[in-house]
Structure formats: C-alpha cells, structure tokens
Structure 1
Amino acid sequence: MRSTVGLPLHRLIAALAGPIGRLTRPVMLAMAPMLLLAALTLGGNLGVALVLLALPLTVASAVGRPILTREGTRDPLTGLGDRAALTAELDRILGRSGGPPRSVAAMVLEIDGFKQIEQRHDRVAIEWLLRIVGERLQDGLRDGDTLARLDGACFGLALSSRHQPDLETAIQLGQRLQAAVADPIPVEGLQIHVTVSLGFALALRLVRPDGADLVQAATLALIEAQRGGSNSIRCYSEAMRHRVSLRHDLADEVAAALDRGDVVAHFQPQISLRSGRLTGVEALARWHHPERGLIPPGEFLPVMEQAGLMGRLGEVMVQDGLNALRLWDAAGLDVPHVAINFSQAELADPRLVDRLAWELDRFDLRPDRLAIEVLETVVAKRVEDVVVRNLSGLSGLGCRLDLDDFGTGHAAITSIRQFSIQRIKIDRSFVTRIDNDAEQQKMVSAILTMADRLGIETLAEGVETEAERDMLHRLGCDHGQGFGIGRPMPRLETEAWIRAIPPSCPEEPSCRAV
C-alpha cells in the first residue's frame, strides 16, 4: 500500500510515529493541529487518517503503563526510556522493596543477527523495524513492568516488584516476549522474521546490587544466551561471571598465542567405511595454554572470531596441514589429503585463491591434496559475490570442496552443482544412534541416494560406536569420521595411528582401522 503522494506506507508511518511517540500526553494533545497539518502535507487524506487513529491510541497507551519520563533519558527513536532511565527505575524499585531484594529483576534482550539485517536494508527500514519490535515487546509486558531501549537492537526491562519475579516466572515472561516478536515484520516489500535472545538477572543472586549491577548481570546472561544460538534464554549466576571473565582474559592472550605457536593443528582421521583405509585427515585447531592446558575450541574460537583473528587462524591451519602432508609423504605414509575448515569471513578474502595457490606451490603439493570444508549455511545463503568467486576459483585451481554439516543449512541442489562440491559431510545429528533409530536411517538413506545420483561422495561425522559405523556402511555411506574411529591427535600421534593400520586391507567391512 502507498500513500496518496507516493510515499511508501511504512515510511509514512515511520515519519509520523517518531514525533508522536516522543511527546508526553499533554503535549500530544496540544500539538494535534500541527501534527494533522504535517500529516496532510506528507500523506494527504491517508496521512490525516493515520494520525487520527494513532493519536488516541498513543495517548491511551500512556495511561496505566509505566513510562520513563526523566528529562534527557528518553530514546529518540522509539520513545522508550534509555539505559539511564532503566537503571534509575531499577534503583527506585530496589529502594522501595526494602530488605533483601527478592522481588527485583532485570532483563536484557537483543535481536538475533541484527548486523546481517542492517546490511540488507536502509536506515529508514531499520528504524521502522526497531519501532515495531519495541511496540511488540511493550504489548507483551505485564502491568508494572518497564521497557527501555539500551542501544542498537538491544532492549532492557525492569520487572515490577508486585509480581514477585522468580526463575520460573522470568523464563515464562521471556518466552512470551519472544513469541510477541515472532510474527513476520513487513519491511520494503519483504517479510522479516525476527527472533530475540535474552538474559535476565534476579537481584537475590547478587550481593547488594544497584540498578547498574542488575543491568550488567542481565547483559552477561544475554551474552551466554547468544552463545547458545538464536532465541535462547539464560539466567545470571556467579559462575557465569567467572566464565565471562576467563573469556575476556583469553581475548587478551589469543593474538600472542597465535604468534607463539601455542595454537596448532590436531588431525582427525577419515576412513573408508568399506575397507577401513585412511582416506584423509581433518585439521582442527587446538590451543595449548601454558597455564590452563588444552583449551576447548568452543571457548577460544568465539574469542578469535570476535577479535577478527579467524583469517590468521586459517593461515596457521593451512601451514600446519600442508607441512604435515609433506612430512608424511617423506616418511612414506599414504595420506590422500588434509581437510581444513574455512569460515565465511575467510572465504570473503579476495586474496584467498592466490594465497592458497602460493602455499601449495611452496610445499610442492598438488591442489587436490587440500580439501576446503565449507559450512552448508554459507553455500545456502551465498550472501557475498566474493565468496562465490572464491569457491569457483578454488574449484578451478583443483582443490577439493567438502560441504560441512550437511542437513542443517538447506543448501539447494543447484548450489551443490554450481560450486562443484565433491563430498558432503552428513551432520552428526543424523548419525547419533542411527543403529537404533529408523527415522534417522530413512533420513540418511535419502541423503545418500541424492548424493549417489549426483555423483558426490559422502562422509558421516560424529561416528561414535561400532554399531553406528556398521549401519552407515550398510546404508551405503562412503567415509566416516568421529571419536569411534580416531580422536583429533597431534601430528606425531597421528603418524603412529596411521602406521598401526594394516598395510594391506581387503575391501570388506570386517577389516577395521585401529
């Protein structure tokens, strides 16, 4: 729908909603004639009709719901209070509650994937979306709860002491707010599906907190929620603060660790499920901390990503992987190729193809000895032209392309063919307990049939047991990888593992890798 002067309806409403939302109720009424004149100029009769509808609704919304009105503490975009107003409201509730603050809580919410949304739409559309999300969150509140916009796509909430918030009621409210924003939002002719992750903090879990302490604790819980994926909820605990503190310490150390060589590649074997022969290895990053020992990848990889060091990590993995192949070749060991994961940020490097070509030449290795593992979500989205060019360039160079975590990203068959994918890696979620789950067997069988018709090899990730391995072989899967076959190991341990494989292995499932 468009206005009578050709202005898109959502832009017209955005233009009118800001001025109206920022006014107090008495000023709204006093300014009504001016607003009607502005509406007539911007949108003709339709604009006037919109103001006549919006004005009483906005005035009504100011009655019976807490509105933060302290001078200078209102968000100019949404008309909600800002961070200072939220902390002041929490301080007021804490002071009113008296004694142990058992009935006070704060919540912080953020739109998932907001940076990607910002990249696809202009400023007016983004402001419209933020207003709509703010309105939906406001509609999902209980009487007495207070909403504020903190910054960007982040909102804060002071939970009223009259509702006696505890863990269960806070989770229920969080789920209700997530449901309130779930309906698609029309923006520039598109339907945007918004999800929010949130964290909350109960005052009783902190020692003599003030409003700022509660907001900070809820923000820490939000960070933990975001680590769990979209639409997640977490409650603050002191253990959480300790984990966040450790991650901050890691962030200060990670660049130096890369320079010192503390982050190295470990290698996990990939075998033929038919013969047990080694068909490749995957290089996986491991950090050997001088004081904490081996740090799990789940802890340091997000830190590296936030620090913008994934490109540097990729260089280390490539160099370690190609160097291992060269040393194994010199030792007379048959390791067909090394597979290395590349993030979307690395694939967006315009120098990637030339850099890998130079590295392969430096180590005197054929390009097909290097397998590039690409997440299915990257191929499915294909959001950047440089990523598409790099994948095509790597395929043209002669490198193998493996599609990682297949079954989780909705990649189209046309995308698989376009990028000359040579092997798909079936996600571990389809492999776990496949020997006992008929539905899992049907799903994997369908994937294998598709791959067979397309002439693409298959590898099952996360093979943990002999029974899973046998079932995958019977279904026709080509390769397997997982702790049930071999754990990620340093280069010398991997070499010993390879030497332990029988030198002559018949093409039958009874012959097993060690």
Structure 2
Amino acid sequence: MDTVTRGDMAAVRPQRGGWLRTVTASLCRRQMLPYLPAMLCGALLGAQAFVLVCVTALIVAWACRIRDEPPPQPNHRPDPVTGLMQEAEATQAVEGFLAQSRDTGHRTACFVVGLDAPDQLIARTTTAEFDAVLCKIAARLATVLRDNDVIARLEGPCFLVALCTGPRADLESLIQIALRLQSTLHLPVSIGDRDIFISVHVGFCQHSRAPDTDASGFVAAARTAAKAARDQGRASIRAFTPDMGTPQMEPAAGPTQGLDSEIGWALDAGTLRGFFEPEFIAATGVFCGIRLRPRWLHATHGLLTEKEILPAVTHTGLNVAFDDLMRQYAFQAVSGWAKTPSYLPVIGLPVSLPSLQDARYADKLGLELERFDLTGANLRLILPEAIVATEPAEAVLRSLARCHGMGIAIELAGFGATSCTLPLLRRLNIQCIWIAPELVTRCDHDKGHQGLVAGTIALAARLGLKVGATGVSALGEHAQLVQLGCDYVQGPSLAPILSQDDLPGWLARHHAKATALTPPSAPKTLKRFNAQRVSLPP
C-alpha cells in the first residue's frame, strides 16, 4: 500500500468544499484553541457577538492555511551557457551514486576537466565564441559518456563528470576514460569560418581513494587532482593521491591571490627552488641541455610555477634578488654534475631586464663561473620576450655584449608572441630563438600555426640563427616541427620538469635507454657537452 504524506495531501485541492475542510482543519489545530473560549463567550452574550467571533476565527484560519503550506522545494537551474546542471545539483547526484555504491558494492569515480590556458583563449575569441566553445565541450562530453553518467558545469572553464556505479572503476580503466575524453575534446572546434584548437587537463578521483565519504569531499578530491594536472603542464592527467594534501573545496582556478606579500619571505626561507626541464635535438631526440624553471613550494597552494611566481616578483620589484637566487641554483647544480664524467649539460638560465640593466651583471657571472670552476660554454642566457618589445637601454646591450665575449650563448624566449625588429636581434647577439608555446600548440593540425612556425624557421635560417620550440605536448607536434626544420624541442611530451636531485637519475635512465636503442654501427658522439650543444649518447 502506497504511503501518502502530508505534502502529498497538501498538493491535492478538492474541487468542492475544499475551503470549508481547510478552514475546519485549521480551526482544529492547536493554534486555534485560544479562540474557543471567545466563541463560547460570544454564544452567551448573544447571536451578534457569536457571529463576529466566528467570522474573525474564519479569517485567521484562512491566513493560517497560507502559512501552513509546505515550503517550495529548491529549483535547480541549469547553467545558462551550456544548459548543463550546476554544481549543487551534481553534488546531489554524486551523493546518490555513493549511496548506490554502498548498497551494491560497485564503484564510481569523479573527473574534473578544465581548459588549458583559458586566458589566452578568451583573448583570442569574443564572448559569444568562447561560450560556443564551452557548449561544444559539453556536447562532446555527452557523446563519450553513458546516459546515466552526470555532466555538470563548474565555476570557470571546468566541467565535472561523475560516473554511474559499475563493476569496473580501477586505475587503468579510469586513465583510459580520461584519455578518451581528451582525444574527443582536442578535435578542432569550428566557429564561423575558422577552427579553434583547445587542450584540456583532467584530474580524477577513485571512490576507493576519496578522503571523505560525502559527495562534497569526493568532488573536491577530483578538483585537487585537476589542479595538479594543470600545474604539471598542458594536456596532463593526474589521479588523486593522499600526498596531494587536503582537497580544495574552492575551484581549482585562481588560487594564488595575495602572493606579493609572501614572495619576499619565500626568497629568504628557501621555498623558491630551481627545477630543470630537459631539451632535445628535434631530429634525433637526443638530450642536449636543460633549462632552469623556478618553482615555489607554497604551504597553502602547493607547487607554483613561473606563471604565478614571475608576476609577484615583478610587482614587488625583486627581480634582481630572484635572478641571483636562481643563478645560485643553476651553478650549484652544474658544479655537482661536473663530478660525473659521463655528462655535463649546458644549462639555460632565464634572466630579467632589471638584472641586465645592472652594469655589474657580467662581472657577477664571471665571478660565479670562476668560483664553481666552469666556463661560459656551460651557460646560456634566456632573454624574456619583453626585451624586444621596446628599444633596450645601452646598459642592457653592454651587459649582453660582455656576456657574449665570455663565451655565453644568448637566446630569446617567446619569439612570435611580441613584435620584434630584426636588427635588434643582431644588436642583442641572439644565437637561438625559441618559438612561443601558443604557436607550437596544435601545429600538427592548425594550418595557421604551421605557416607561422614555418615562416619563423625560414627567417631564422636566413639570419643564421638556431630555432627551438617549447611547450611540445604531443608526438604529432614534435613530428611536424621536425619536418619544418626546427633544431631543438622541449615539453611535457618529451620529459617532465625535474628537481635537482631527480635529474641525475633521469639522465642515467635516459642514457641507458638511448644506449639500448642505438645500433652498434652508429657513430659515437662526444660524451661531454660543449658550446655547440653536442649530446651525450655513447
């Protein structure tokens, strides 16, 4: 027998006599009891007083009927852009999946899919076009998933995917699902008469690894994994692990407000570290050098990259102190590796414009090289793209000329992101230009990017310059760069960014792998790097 609740009864309104029954019910409730003595008194005083009291009781009963109606249930509105459910409704659905999991023993999982570099995409598109990209992402996610799975829009350019309970939710199957999501979303999005190429990072959490049993903690763990994937690099995938720390309940994007007040303390406390990203010869894939990448081991926000560090350094005017600290990390690392006779990589050291304006900068480099028993051939200066946006000061040109005279190679990062005059490349003694990552992205599919990269490589060849590409995140991009004649490549598809302690072990494993893959008849190359960046293999 079906149970009818009070809410169900309230929802039913009889067509005849409904008001009379409602008023009678209100009169019988406890709040109408004080009126009963008044009604008795009215009956004793006369008919008119009795009628007056009854009419007053009816009016109060009708008003109480309005107040006694059950409160309306919350109305979950869909996302106005994509039409998907929003986070509150999705969290309730995830709670239902967790209840099913407890009853059936099956497992579920949560994924958070986020756009890589959304600021750059917003800058290249209008609001309507950006909304169209989000709608296309939502539609493509629906084609990959099952009908019972949940897709929701989170704050910012992020989406939540919750899998309905099933017998298989192990790590391998979830990684395959993440790869399937990426391969579907990485297809070009046609907006009007042009194609927009996007990439996404994915973070997910298994039900068995969720730190909390409720839905909010489950979703927060997936968000934490997505943040780790975003920090690792473009098109990365990360699974939640306990060592990622406490799940963040807030959205993954934009967690680093107020770093300006902490950057000075970080310089003194040693939480700013120098990490290293390997570089390779494009045509052969042979390791040929490393570039220093700053990282901040923040107590609250985790591992921060140069995207968050450099703005804080610039806002506080600590560029010189920051460059001095990074230079110490670079020289200490190279001097430590020099004790190993099998390799000595050439290290790329980023330098800011305020440091180059210091007339003593070249003298500092010379003293550091002498102190650590190194030469200029072990060092490369990586100039920021902002240095070619305007005519540099004479002090900058003198510092670069002195560094060039010491045998230090000078390279320009982010070429193509800003305007640059060709004579200025000669005046700065540039020997290698690194193509901006936004031009490298999807160059294997985007004809426009292919043309820009090909034109840059042809221009560099005419000027006698080497060309490198940074941010290579797919094998197709690497293959396309090789066909176009690029000299050097680096990116997450080739090697991760490593700490000073992890890099020697990685180099040893890479060297052993290269040795195993090298045919016996192949000519042997030098075992020590030189200024021409000749690589290591046997």
TMscore range, shorter length: 0.5 to 0.7
Alignment match of 1:424 (pick from 463, 466, 470): 466
CA gap 1:196/1:100 in 2 versus in 1, 3 angstroms: same
Match of 1:340 in 2: 381
CA gap 1:470/1:335 in 2 versus in 1, 3 angstroms: farther
Alignment match of 2:266 (pick from 250, 253, 257): 257
Alignment match of 2:112 (pick from 104, 108, 112): 108
CA gap 1:304/1:83 in 2 versus in 1, 3 angstroms: same
Alignment match of 1:322 (pick from 356, 362, 368): 362
CA gap 1:283/1:80 in 2 versus in 1, 3 angstroms: closer
Match of 1:58 in 2: none
Distance in 1 between the 2:355 and 2:536 partners?
Answer: 21
After superposition, residues 193-272 of structure 1 pair within 5 angstroms as 193-241=197-245, 254-258=263-267
Question: Residue 198 of structure 2: SS of its match in structure 1?
Answer: coil
Aligned length: 359
Unaligned 5+ residue runs, structure 1?
1-68, 269-280, 292-297, 431-439, 449-461, 486-514
CA gap 1:351/1:403 in 2 versus in 1, 3 angstroms: closer
Shift of 1:484: 8.8
Question: Residue 403 of structure 1: SS of its match in structure 2?
Answer: strand
Match of 1:124 in 2: 128
Match of 1:147 in 2: 151
CA gap 1:330/1:93 in 2 versus in 1, 3 angstroms: closer
Shift of 1:155: 0.6
Question: Residue 79 of structure 2: SS of its match in structure 1?
Answer: coil
Shift of 1:181: 2.6
Using structure 2 for the length normalisation, give the TM-score: 0.52
Shift of 1:163: 5.5
Using structure 1 for the length normalisation, give the TM-score: 0.54
Match of 2:392 in 1: 354
- Please tell me the residue identity of whatever aligns with 2:265: A
Distance in 1 between the 2:166 and 2:405 partners?
Answer: 67
Match of 1:190 in 2: 194
Distance in 2 between the 1:405 and 1:322 partners?
Answer: 26
Q: Does residue 166 of the first structure (1) align with residue 170 of the second (2)?
A: yes
Output one character per residue of 1:451-504: Cα deviation in whole Å (capped at 9) or x when no partner. xxxxxxxxxxx8969989974469xx971267899xxxxxxxxxxxxxxxxxxx
CA contact (8 A) 2:411 2:432 kept: yes
CA gap 1:179/1:333 in 2 versus in 1, 3 angstroms: closer
CA gap 1:185/1:334 in 2 versus in 1, 3 angstroms: closer
Shift of 1:207: 3.7
Distance in 2 between the 1:134 and 1:371 partners?
Answer: 47
Distance in 1 between the 2:296 and 2:159 partners?
Answer: 38
Question: Residue 395 of structure 1: SS of its match in structure 2?
Answer: helix
Shift of 1:218: 0.6
- Please tell me the residue identity of whatever aligns with 2:116: D
Alignment match of 1:399 (pick from 425, 429, 451): 429
Alignment match of 1:373 (pick from 379, 403, 411): 411
CA contact (8 A) 1:200 1:221 kept: yes
Distance in 2 between the 1:405 and 1:113 partners?
Answer: 17
Output one character per residue of 1:349-402: Cα deviation in whole Å (capped at 9) or x when no partner. 6776525x4345479937766744235xx33xx2x4xx222x646414333232
Question: Residue 238 of structure 2: SS of its match in structure 1?
Answer: strand
CA contact (8 A) 2:115 2:200 kept: yes
- Please tell me the residue identity of whatever aligns with 1:304: I
CA gap 1:142/1:309 in 2 versus in 1, 3 angstroms: farther
> Quick check: which has more Rg, 1 or 2?
2
Distance in 1 between the 2:125 and 2:227 partners?
Answer: 25
Distance in 2 between the 1:210 and 1:267 partners?
Answer: 39
Distance in 2 between the 1:429 and 1:470 partners?
Answer: 30
Alignment match of 1:71 (pick from 56, 64, 75): 75
Distance in 1 between the 2:275 and 2:161 partners?
Answer: 45
CA contact (8 A) 1:284 1:317 kept: no
CA contact (8 A) 2:404 2:410 kept: no
Alignment match of 1:388 (pick from 419, 424, 433): 419
Match of 2:346 in 1: none
Distance in 1 between the 2:264 and 2:166 partners?
Answer: 49
Distance in 1 between the 2:465 and 2:211 partners?
Answer: 54
Unaligned 5+ residue runs, structure 2?
1-72, 249-254, 278-288, 324-350, 441-449, 473-478, 488-506
CA contact (8 A) 1:282 1:338 kept: no
Shift of 1:201: 0.9
Q: Does residue 304 of the first structure (1) align with residue 284 of the second (2)?
A: no
CA gap 1:350/1:83 in 2 versus in 1, 3 angstroms: farther
Distance in 2 between the 1:374 and 1:363 partners?
Answer: 12
Q: Percent identity?
A: 20
Shift of 1:405: 8.8
- Please tell me the residue identity of whatever aligns with 2:153: R
Shift of 1:173: 2.6
CA contact (8 A) 2:205 2:240 kept: yes
Q: Root-mean-square deviation (CA), in Å?
A: 5.4
CA contact (8 A) 1:101 1:204 kept: no
CA gap 1:138/1:304 in 2 versus in 1, 3 angstroms: same
Distance in 2 between the 1:421 and 1:101 partners?
Answer: 66
CA contact (8 A) 1:353 1:393 kept: no
Distance in 2 between the 1:418 and 1:233 partners?
Answer: 36
CA contact (8 A) 2:189 2:195 kept: yes
- Please tell me the residue identity of whatever aligns with 1:233: I
CA contact (8 A) 1:283 1:338 kept: no
CA gap 1:159/1:226 in 2 versus in 1, 3 angstroms: same
Distance in 1 between the 2:240 and 2:101 partners?
Answer: 21
Distance in 2 between the 1:327 and 1:81 partners?
Answer: 61
Shift of 1:92: 2.8
Alignment match of 2:179 (pick from 150, 175, 182): 175
Match of 2:24 in 1: none
Match of 2:344 in 1: none
CA contact (8 A) 2:389 2:419 kept: no
